[in-house]
Every structure is written in structure tokens, then in C-alpha cells.
């Protein structure tokens, strides 16, 4: 059994609820896409679980045979890695779409100029 | 996607000459005029790659069609815009020529002639026969490495994999309009063609070397160039083919 002081648990709990609150507010204000919010909600939930029931962390520590602090860093690191990979994928997709859009705008503008040309005379 | 939109071609010509240009107001008019003098049965499209100077106006005044990209997208995306244009307008052949006077327009008919034998791309090549081109040592090493890599992958000797002076067939236009790297595209495009069952030939040409402007590849970018293109080539081998 690993013991965490009650006041620490309360702080972690409040932090997690604050994080979830901020995420929901950002979605509500249309500043965060639901698609990307999922990973943040998952983050909040994991922090909550590890914070309130640190034994879950101990369980993982036993499985990977590491000190629980090392396990904590490992889990956090893997999580951040996943988030960064997720963002890179998103950026790549946006890059491709942005590129095609710009190209299409270029020749639509060309077509528009062609259409306007005879009207000018 | 774009293929629902059908565009009308404004001329009856089958060949589109694509000139990507970024801040080339000093040379673009001369390049366009030279091409018009040497190649009469082709339309000329200048892709103004977000220039801050008067490239677009100079090009239009010298008789080229001009499309303008909203921001500087890089040579690959600019050339691809030209391929997209050629695809939508139904051109049978496209020729890519640099906007800085490096590529001799007198050689364009020879490139196009090389496509008549069923090849999908004709590369204006500096190294098939000895020419006046003397690259710096680092560049020469890079050129050799890519030549070796591409030759190995396609199974035949390819000398000039980085030349941007190229003519392509309708089939290649359609393919490259969809799949073309946004920067340093030349080497990777060869692998893309090969992977999609298309062929290319090299046509020896003599080029002019850098009158105005600098190479798009500075010394600092050289390392990135090598890494990016090598990785792209290796990835291109295992990438899925279009439609797979």
C-alpha cells in the first residue's frame, strides 16, 4: 500500500476537475476541436486515477519491475510522446490540405480573371 | 477534390510549359520570351510562388499565363500547381523549366521528342555526356549518392536525378498532380514514377549556370537536403502506391 496524504489527494482531484472544466469550456467556446480534446480528457482522467489511487501506479511498477517514481516518469513520458505524435499527424494532415487548397485557390483565381477579361473591353 | 471541376482550355495547344518563379522579376520576362521564341506550339504558365516583387506582372506582360500562390509554398508545391493546372486543362505534355534562365529553351523540343517513344518523363541531364557543369565537391558527392540510390532502386543507370528540367506525359501529369513532394522534389518524383510503373529517359543537355539569383539550395540547407531526400527515397520504396 502506498499512502498519499489526504490534502494531496484533494489538490490533485481539484486540479483534474479544473483541467476537465477548462477543456469543456474551450470546446464550448469553439476554440478546441472535440477530436483533439479527447486526448486531453484522457490525460485528466489518468492523472486523476494515479493521484487518487496511487496503487494503480504500484501495480504497473510491479509489472515493469521499476521503482514507482521511475514508473511515474515513464508513464508521463509515454503519454507526452503519444500527444506529440498525435499533433504531428494532425499538422501533416493540415499541411496537405492547406497545400491543395492554396493550389486550387490559385487556379480558381486564374479562371476568374479569364472570365472577367472579356467584360473589361 | 478537384477532379469534379472541369476546366476549359483556352488554346488548342497540347503542351504546357511550367515555370515556377519566386522573386524572379529580373529574369522572368527574358525566360518567357526565350521560350516563346524557341517553342511556338506550347502554352506557357508561370507559377508565381508568392513573390514579393513584380514577377507576376512581368510574366504576364511577356505573354505567359500566370497563376499566383497566396504564399511562398516552395518549388515542389509550385511545380505541382502547374501539374494540377495541366491535368485539369487536359494538356498532353508538361515541361518544367526554371525561372532563372538556367535551362536552355532550345532543348525543350528534344525533351518532348524523347516522350514520343513511350517514356513518361524525359530529364534534361547534365551528366550523361560531359558538359561544362562543374559542381562543388559537396554537391558532386550528393549528386553521386542520389544517382547511386536511384539507379539501384529503378534497376538502371540514372545520372542526373536532381535536374529540374523535365518533360512529362499525360499519365505522369495526372500522377504527379496528386503526389509530389513540397520541397526538393526531383529525386523523389523519379521513385514515385518508377513505383507506379512509369519510365523515364535522360536527354543530355548543356545548361547555363546561374546568371541571376542563387541556387535554391544554400550550403546550410545542404545537410537538410541530403537527409530529407535520402529519407524520402527510402520511404518512397515502402510507401503504398496510389490507389493501393
pLDDT at B28 over 60: yes
CB B150 within 8 A of CB B190: yes
CA distance linking residue B22 with residue B28, whole number of Å: 10
Residue-wise pLDDT tens digits, B34-46: 999 989 889 999 9
Q: For chain A, which residues score pLDDT lower than 50? A: none
Q: Which domain holds residue B117?
A: 12-238
Nearest neighbour of A102 by CB, restricted to B2, B70, B85: B70
Cβ within 8 Å, pair A106-B67: yes
Answer whether residue B154 shows pLDDT above 90.
Answer: no
For residue B226, give the DSSP letter. H
Q: Is the pLDDT of residue B132 over 70?
A: no
Task: Kindly state whether residue B186 falls inside one of the protein's structural domains.
Answer: yes
Three state DSSP letters for chain A: CCCCCHHHHHHHHHHHHHHHHHHHHHHHCCCCCHHHHHHHHHHHHHHHHHHHCCHHHHHHHHHHCCCHHHHHHHHHHHHHHHHHHHHHHHHHHHHHHHHHHHHHHHHHHHHHHHHHHHHHC
Out of A102, A107, A109, whose CB is closest to B73? Answer: A102
Q: Does residue B213 have a pLDDT over 60?
A: no
What is the distance between the alpha carbons of residues B142 and B164, in angstroms, rounded to a whole number? 15
The pLDDT score that the predictor gives to residue B1 is: 44
- Residue B209, pLDDT above cutoff 60: yes
Percentage of the residues of chain B whose pLDDT score is greater than 90 = 45
Q: Grid coordinates representing A27?
A: 470546446
Task: Give the one of B7, B66, B84 whose C-beta lies nearest to A103's C-beta.
Answer: B84
Contact call for B81 and A107, based on CB within 8 A: yes
Strand order in the sheet with B121-125: B65-68, B42-48, B15-21, B93-96, B166-169, B121-125, B200-204
The alpha-carbon gap from B79 to the nearest alpha carbon of chain A, in Å, equals 10
Residue B219: per-residue pLDDT? 64
For chain B, how many structural domains are there in total?
1
Report the run of H or E that residue B143 belongs to, with start and end. Answer: helix B137-154
Report chain B residues whose CB lies below 8 A from the CB of A107.
7, 67, 81, 84-85, 88
- Reported in sequence order, the residue ranges of chain B that DSSP labels E, i.e. its strands, are 15-21, 42-48, 65-68, 93-96, 121-125, 166-169, 200-204
Mean pLDDT, residues B68-88 taken together: 93
- The interface predicted TM-score of the complex, written ipTM, equals 0.77
Residue B53 inside a domain? The answer is: yes
Mean of pLDDT values over B225-241: 78
Residue B212 predicted with pLDDT over 50: no
For CA atoms B224, B153, B97, B68, the dihedral sign is negative
pTM above 0.95, yes or no: no
Contact between A110 and B71 using a beta-carbon 8 Å cutoff = no
**% of chain B beyond a pLDDT of 70:** 85
* A33-37, A47-51, B162-166, B236-240: least confident range: B236-240
Per-residue pLDDT, A76 = 83
A39-43, B88-92, B168-172, B184-188: range with lowest mean pLDDT:
A39-43
Q: What is the pLDDT of residue B202?
A: 92
For residue B68, pLDDT over 70 is answered with yes
Is B83 a member of any domain?
yes
Domain-embedded: residue B67 = yes
B110 Cβ contact partners less than 8 Å away, ≥ 6 residues apart = B203, B205
Question: What integer is the mean pLDDT of B160-187?
Answer: 91
CATH of the domain at B19: 3.90.550.10
Amino acid at each position: 500500500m502506498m499512502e498519499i496524504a489526504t490534502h494531496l489527494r484533494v489538490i490533485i482531484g481539484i486540479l483534474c476537475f479544473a483541467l476537465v472544466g477548462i477543456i469543456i469550456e474551450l470546446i464550448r467556446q469553439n476554440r478546441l476541436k472535440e477530436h483533439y480534446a479527447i486526448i486531453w480528457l484522457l490525460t485528466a482522467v489518468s492523472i486523476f486515477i494515479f493521484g487518487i489511487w496511487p496503487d494503480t501506479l504500484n501495480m504497473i511498477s510491479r509489472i515493469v519491475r521499476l521503482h514507482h517514481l521511475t514508473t511515474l516518469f515513464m508513464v508521463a513520458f509515454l503519454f507526452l510522446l503519444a500527444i506529440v505524435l498525435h499533433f504531428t499527424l494532425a499538422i501533416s494532415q493540415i499541411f496537405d490540405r492547406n497545400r491543395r487548397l492554396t493550389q486550387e485557390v490559385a487556379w480558381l483565381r486564374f479562371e476568374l480573371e479569364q472570365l472577367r477579361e472579356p467584360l473589361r473591353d | 477534390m478537384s477532379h469534379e471541376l472541369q476546366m476549359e482550355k483556352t488554346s488548342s495547344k497540347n503542351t504546357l510549359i511550367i515555370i515556377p518563379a519566386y522573386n524572379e522579376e529580373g529574369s522572368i520576362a527574358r525566360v518567357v520570351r526565350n521560350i516563346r521564341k524557341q517553342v511556338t506550339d506550347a502554352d506557357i504558365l508561370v507559377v508565381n510562388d508568392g513573390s514579393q516583387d513584380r514577377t507576376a506582372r512581368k510574366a504576364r506582360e511577356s505573354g505567359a499565363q500566370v497563376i499566383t500562390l497566396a504564399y511562398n509554398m516552395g518549388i515542389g508545391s509550385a511545380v505541382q500547381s502547374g501539374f494540377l493546372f495541366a491535368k485539369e486543362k487536359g494538356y498532353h505534355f508538361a515541361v518544367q523549366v526554371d525561372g532563372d534562365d538556367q535551362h536552355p529553351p532550345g532543348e525543350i523540343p528534344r525533351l518532348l521528342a524523347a516522350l514520343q517513344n513511350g517514356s513518361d518523363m524525359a530529364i534534361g541531364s547534365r551528366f550523361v555526356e560531359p558538359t561544362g557543369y562543374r559542381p562543388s565537391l559537396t554537391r558532386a558527392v550528393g549528386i553521386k549518392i542520389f544517382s547511386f540510390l536511384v539507379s539501384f532502386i529503378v534497376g538502371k543507370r540514372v545520372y542526373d536525378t536532381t535536374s529540374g528540367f523535365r518533360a512529362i506525359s499525360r499519365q505522369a501529369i495526372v500522377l504527379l498532380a496528386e503526389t509530389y513532394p513540397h520541397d526538393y522534389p526531383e529525386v523523389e518524383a523519379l521513385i514515385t514514377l518508377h513505383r507506379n510503373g512509369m519510365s523515364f529517359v535522360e536527354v543530355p543537355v548543356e545548361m547555363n549556370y546561374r546568371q541571376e539569383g542563387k541556387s535554391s539550395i544554400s550550403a546550410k540547407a545542404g545537410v537538410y537536403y541530403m537527409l530529407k531526400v535520402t529519407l524520402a527515397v527510402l520511404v518512397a520504396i515502402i510507401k503504398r502506391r496510389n490507389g493501393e
